[in-house]
Amino acid sequence: MTKQHISHENIAIANLGGIDLSLSVTHVGNRKAQNKVLIINNLHGNELTGFYVLEEALQSMPIVENGLLSIISSANPLGLLHKQRFMPIDNVDLNRGYPPQAKERGIQVVLKNTLLEIGSKYDVIIDLHTFVRPSLSAAMVVSQASEKNTELIDDLSKTLGVEVVYKMNIHGSEEKRVASAFAFQMIAQGKAACVVEYSPIQYTSGSEVTQFAQGLVRALSRCGLYDLPEVSQVKKEIPTFERRQMMSRSSGLFLPKKALKEQVDKGEVLGYIIDVKTLEKKPLISEYSGVVTEIAAREFYVFGEKLVTIGVEQ
């Protein structure tokens, strides 16, 4: 039996005085191959589900015969260390602001440019994220550079084992915020790319992790890295939504009234916000009709934080 060919690479980013910052890349398969897929994980340091999914996927993956799979398991090692979303020291979101401006300052510039340079060597890029609040897992799909890429990403979104697909229009007002994200910059360079948002690890069971891992293994087969028996390649028809997000207009303790997957109408109460000083609760009224795909847990939320996402059918 042939063994999976795995090698590790360390890419130096910056000297931080007593320690050095580097990016670890794991290569699976043939580094000289034509067909190359890059998985990038943990751009946001506090997003952990992808690690568990990747660990299982690597264990169960067939031998990569027809290409190269490279995995950046943590694109934000300093954020991971600090258990925070942003990159410490520069205190920036590593998934915004691509490409960095000339003369922009900080370690983040080198890190972002290195990620862009790595990404430029691949045909397909899968960027793994994790929602922070209880959520349905999702594939985020934007329009691609070619019909071939559109077809591939459409297939990937249905094989990944996630619960919903969000079609995102990054030029519209709802999603404009994320237009400078890493994956979308890669698409602008002609790559096929999609973003996966898993549910937070504390709300994800072991069997869901397995489902995500098997989905990733299927998706990589669709990318052509190896062949899988036809039965395991089934595409699942899953709901496709545009997302509508609702932010908190006050600070307080959230008390959810609706659950994930529940259908809601515009005007319905989604939950309450308990005022810290008076202990009075005010309702959070849905501005949209659709399916609850993300809803805050019982926690303290600050003015302006996202509380609920409603999936609106297209």
Shortest approach of Zn ion to residue 261 CB, angstroms? 22
Q: In the complex with Zn ion, which residue's Cβ is closer, 129 or 218?
A: 129
Binding part of the chain for Zn ion, among 13-21, 43-51, 74-82, 164-172 by CB under 5 A, reads 43-51
Instruction: Give the footprint of Zn ion on residues 121-150 (CB under 5 A).
Output: 129
Instruction: Give the footprint of Zn ion on residues 46-85 (CB under 5 A).
Output: 47
Shortest approach of Zn ion to residue 93 CB, angstroms? 9
Shortest approach of Zn ion to residue 86 CB, angstroms? 11
In whole angstroms, give the CA distance from residue 285 to residue 266: 8
Q: In the complex with Zn ion, which residue's Cβ is closer, 165 or 284?
A: 165
CA distances from 298 to 37, 133, 135, 253, 271 (A): 39, 10, 14, 7, 10
Shortest approach of Zn ion to residue 250 CB, angstroms? 26
Nearest residue to Zn ion, using CB? 129
Binding part of the chain for Zn ion, among 41-49, 149-157, 247-255, 276-284 by CB under 5 A, reads 41-49
Shortest approach of Zn ion to residue 134 CB, angstroms? 16
Q: In the complex with Zn ion, which residue's Cβ is closer, 129 or 133?
A: 129
Q: In the complex with Zn ion, which residue's Cβ is closer, 28 or 140?
A: 140
User: Do the beta carbons of residue 38 and residue 119 sit within 8 Å?
Assistant: yes
Size of the site for Zn ion (CB under 5 A): 3
Q: Give the one residue of 36, 44, 112, 218 binding Zn ion; rule: CB under 5 A.
A: 44
Instruction: Give the footprint of Zn ion on residues 284-313 (CB under 5 A).
Output: none
Q: In the complex with Zn ion, which residue's Cβ is closer, 36 or 133?
A: 133
In whole angstroms, give the CA distance from residue 68 to residue 27: 7
In whole angstroms, give the CA distance from residue 296 to residue 103: 39
Q: In the complex with Zn ion, which residue's Cβ is closer, 68 or 136?
A: 136
Q: In the complex with Zn ion, which residue's Cβ is closer, 129 or 243?
A: 129
| Token pair recorded at residue 2 | 């042939």
Shortest approach of Zn ion to residue 129 CB, angstroms? 3
Burial degree of 145 (CB within 10 A; 0-12, 13-18, 19+): middle
Q: In the complex with Zn ion, which residue's Cβ is closer, 129 or 158?
A: 129
Shortest approach of Zn ion to residue 74 CB, angstroms? 12
Shortest approach of Zn ion to residue 48 CB, angstroms? 11
By the criterion CB under 5 A, which residues form the site for Zn ion? Answer: 44, 47, 129
